[in-house]
Amino acid sequence: MFDNLTQRLQDVFANLTGKGRLSEADVDEAMRQIRLALLEADVNFKVVKSFVAAVRERAVGTDVMSSLTPGQTVIKIVLEELTTLLGTTEARMVLSSRMPNVLLVVGLQGSGKTTATAKLANHLRKQGKRPLMVACDIYRPAAIEQLKTLGRELDIPVHAENGDDAVTIAENGVRQAIADMRDVVIIDTAGRLHIDEQMMEEAVAIKQAVKPDQVLMVLDAMTGQDAVNSANAFAERVQFDGVILTKLDGDARGGSALSVREVTGKPIFFASLGEKLDTLEPFYPDRMAKRILGMGDVVSLIEKAQEAADTEVTEEMAERLRKAEFTLEDFQTQMEQVRKMGGLSSIVGMLPGAGQLKGLKDMDVDDGQLDRINAIINSMTLQERRKPKVLNGQRRERIANGSGTSVTEVNQLIKQFTQAKKLMKQMQKQQGKRGGGFGMPPGLGPSV
């Protein structure tokens, strides 16, 4: 979502770091470019104005002008101010000692609210909680069925009724959680195509009835400033505690993510970075600021790698890679780990300077491609998987027929595999100059 903004800011920084000294005119030009970049990203104009003013005030100080690396100092200032804009520190959703904890999820229809409810339940279960979801969108039967379907997929129970009183359903859901010894209740409320009084009154009534520990506002990051306006309206009536940002993996401009905290005063608790039910992540302002500035997010990458990786298998493959024995079997295993980590594009966004590694962007694959990769490799003989050089035209045609793909797709796979080997050799050489291993997080060495 922030690709365009990241590129614009990196261009600004490139101009600054190329100069031995900065004049006030240089800083003013950089601030103008940053202002335009933020406005184009659909950041609230008041937020842009205050942000640029804060950066400029610090950037024209004596410390910057007299610095031996003034450009780097300005970048550091932008990073610090951007982190402050996003929230300064991680804003955690704190659960109380109450049993059960009650979480109320509100938002407009189409914001991804029901899916966010299921993702939140899945996230809390990974932390050892026993959640129960409650379907209170009585105006949209499809929402109730959707939550039931997601509940079955996750094996998390859903309380749903045929009644037309959302307040009663919410209260009954809490009672059900107590009876079933569930320690967290997540209530999915009704959404509307736009904010209306009936919607607000019902949300307020449910809040008064169940007295939730946390009220979470779901915002669609792709709706831009409309998302911020919706958040303001909810803040005035429902007084939510924090935000869940959805669709941050989209291709919209993403200005709402940079505006919502400053405009509403409410922290962002979680960000949804994909459609799958395991793509909800705690929102770390400092990590997001670094990603926006193209500095990567190695800490999150390590966490993803540790969660997805099979340590024993990874160590075996790392050893084979050091001996130049990386095979298509290893490539297949590593592509599955990439899938678990949210896809290669997600990983690339966390790697500092990843765009400088030749061929990396060309290797992006989606789930459909991963399925075809598995089918193609499974159609090979053991010799072909371990020694791809034997794959002549006749063998490739046989593999294509056996996997239900085309010879072109088989050729593309071999090309991707070759690129992967070259990329890992580049990483080895780069790390070798610095001394040490692969230069990648534990469990990720050969993954990309």
Please tell me the chain's helix, strand, coil percentages from 3-state DSSP, rounded to the nearest 5.
60, 10, 30
What pLDDT is stored for residue 187 in this prediction? 95
Q: Which residue has the higher pLDDT, 332 or 426?
A: 332
What pLDDT is stored for residue 436 in this prediction? 43
The CA distance from 59 to 56, in Å, is 5
Confidence check: pLDDT of 304 > 60: no
What 8-state DSSP symbol labels residue 106? E
Confidence check: pLDDT of 357 > 80: no
Residue 349 belongs to domain spanning: 298-434
What pLDDT is stored for residue 108 in this prediction? 81
The CA distance from 421 to 401, in Å, is 26
The CA distance from 191 to 195, in Å, is 9
**Given 62, 86, 110, which residue is the final one in a domain?**
86
Domains identified in the chain, total number: 3
Tell me what percent of the residues of the chain surpass a pLDDT of 70: 75
Distance of CA 196 to the CA centre of its chain: 31
Check: CB of residue 190 under 8 Å from CB of residue 162: no
**Given 86, 109, 132, which residue is the final one in a domain?**
86
Confidence check: pLDDT of 89 > 80: no
Residue 439: which pLDDT band, with cuts at 50, 70 and 90? Answer: very low
What pLDDT is stored for residue 438 in this prediction? 39
What pLDDT is stored for residue 344 in this prediction? 59
Confidence check: pLDDT of 93 > 70: yes
Residue 407 counted as domain residue: yes
- What CATH number is attached to the domain comprising 161? 3.40.50.300
Considering the domain architecture, whether residues 330 and 424 belong to the same structural domain is answered as yes
Considering the domain architecture, whether residues 224 and 201 belong to the same structural domain is answered as yes
Considering the domain architecture, whether residues 69 and 202 belong to the same structural domain is answered as no
Considering the domain architecture, whether residues 361 and 334 belong to the same structural domain is answered as yes
What 8-state DSSP symbol labels residue 1? -
* Cα angle for residues 116, 121, 127 (degrees, 5° grid): 130
Q: Torsions phi, psi of 133, nearest 5? A: -100, 145
Average pLDDT estimate for 266-294: 83
Check: CB of residue 165 under 8 Å from CB of residue 217: no
Confidence check: pLDDT of 73 > 90: no
What pLDDT is stored for residue 440 in this prediction? 41
Residue 329: C-alpha distances to residues 62, 311, 316, 325 (Å) = 58, 17, 12, 11
What pLDDT is stored for residue 122 in this prediction? 94
Confidence check: pLDDT of 365 > 60: no
Considering the domain architecture, whether residues 251 and 305 belong to the same structural domain is answered as no
What pLDDT is stored for residue 443 in this prediction? 41
Tell me what percent of the residues of the chain surpass a pLDDT of 90: 23
Residue 267 counted as domain residue: yes
The CA distance from 215 to 187, in Å, is 10
What pLDDT is stored for residue 315 in this prediction? 64
pLDDT in tens, 234-272: 877 788 888 898 887 765 566 777 788 888 888 889 988
In the numeric block, the tokens 């390590």 are attached to 302
**Given 27, 62, 86, which residue is the final one in a domain?**
86
Q: Torsions phi, psi of 245, nearest 5? A: -90, 125
In the numeric block, the tokens 């101009």 are attached to 15
Average pLDDT estimate for 116-145: 92
What pLDDT is stored for residue 13 in this prediction? 81
The CA distance from 109 to 321, in Å, is 49
Q: What is the largest CA-CA distance in the chain?
A: 71
The CA distance from 259 to 122, in Å, is 28
- What CATH number is attached to the domain comprising 23? 1.20.120.140
**Among the listed ranges 64-68, 92-96, 184-188, 235-239, which one has the minimum average pLDDT value?**
64-68
The CA distance from 274 to 296, in Å, is 18
CA-closest candidate to residue 244, choices 201, 206, 281, 285: 281
**Among the listed ranges 148-152, 155-159, 301-305, 373-377, which one has the minimum average pLDDT value?**
301-305
What pLDDT is stored for residue 250 in this prediction? 64
Check: CB of residue 243 under 8 Å from CB of residue 216: yes
Please list the alpha-helical segments (H only) found in 137-211. Answer: 141-154, 166-179, 197-210
Pairing of strands 101-107, 214-220: parallel
Residue 440 counted as domain residue: no
Confidence check: pLDDT of 63 > 60: yes
Q: Letter for the amino acid at 27?
A: V
pLDDT in tens, 147-192: 999 999 999 999 999 888 999 999 999 999 999 999 999 999 987 7
Pairing of strands 214-220, 184-188: unpaired
Residue 445: which pLDDT band, with cuts at 50, 70 and 90? Answer: very low
